[in-house]
Amino acid sequence: MADLDALRSRFARALEAARGPGPGPDPVPYADNLLARWQEPQRRYHTLTHLTAVLDHIDVLQEYAGDPDLVRLAGWFHDAVYLPERSENEERSARLAERALPEAGVSEEKAAEVARLVRLTVTHDPAEDDRDGQVLCDADLAILAAPPSAYAAYTAAVREEYHFVPGDAFREGRAAVLRHLLDLPRLFRTPYGHEKWEATARYNLTSELELLAVR
């Protein structure tokens, strides 16, 4: 069970750091709006557990970020809009950040940067010099390096989210996602992510792809 008060505090700290000194709107209504989104009933993997894991991994990787608090805000918004049957979730999530963050007191420039980071989670392929993008994408993909039981739970939750997709079509689509990831020169771009997660993640992805092929 997620600790909602702890998550509200984490959002408030990131928001207040991003908007700088001085008074601003109360962060709590914005946190509560996002928390409600992350608890929508259609979600099975993209839940508060995933949000918390992404935030935790950003904390692990924060030394590599140029502005870790903007990355944290991007973590909050990156799947804030999520309907499994829709293909434009990242874009809609980015637009939500572009609307909400200036209202919450963040500069237009910083809100645009958060939205840019959210859009990167479509491909998980940040540029070589994009430190903040690398941290967000590594944090989002860290589940791929989970131990066997946790990875199995992740894949089962993804399948539940796409329960409306027939088996053959799901396997075909999932295999395409796995091949895209395996084709990336590096799954993880930060030094920590590459050292700690890369080999395990590639093993998990390859094993899942093999399982999909034999069914």
User: Average pLDDT for residues 126-138, to the nearest whole number?
Assistant: 97
pTM reported for the whole predicted model: 0.95
The pLDDT of residue 58: 98
Cα–Cα distance measured from residue 59 to residue 172, given in angstroms and rounded to the nearest whole number: 35
Q: Are 19 and 77 contacting, i.e. CB atoms less than 8 angstroms apart? A: no
Q: Which residue has the higher pLDDT, 18 or 23?
A: 18
User: What does the mean pLDDT of the chain come to?
Assistant: 96
User: Average pLDDT for residues 133-160, to the nearest whole number?
Assistant: 97
The pLDDT of residue 22: 81
- Say how many C-beta atoms besides its own lie within 10 A of residue 211's C-beta: 12
List the domain range (segments joined by +) for residue 132: 4-214
pLDDT value at 214 more than 80 = no
Give the sign of the dihedral formed by CA 125, CA 130, CA 136, CA 138.
positive
Alpha-carbon distances, residue 172 vs 72, 122, 143, 154, 203 (angstroms)? 33, 18, 21, 18, 19
The pLDDT of residue 7: 98
Q: How many domains does the chain have?
A: 1
Q: Which residue has the higher pLDDT, 1 or 57?
A: 57
Question: Does residue 184 sit in helix, strand or coil?
Answer: coil
Which CATH number does the domain housing residue 20 bear? 1.10.3210
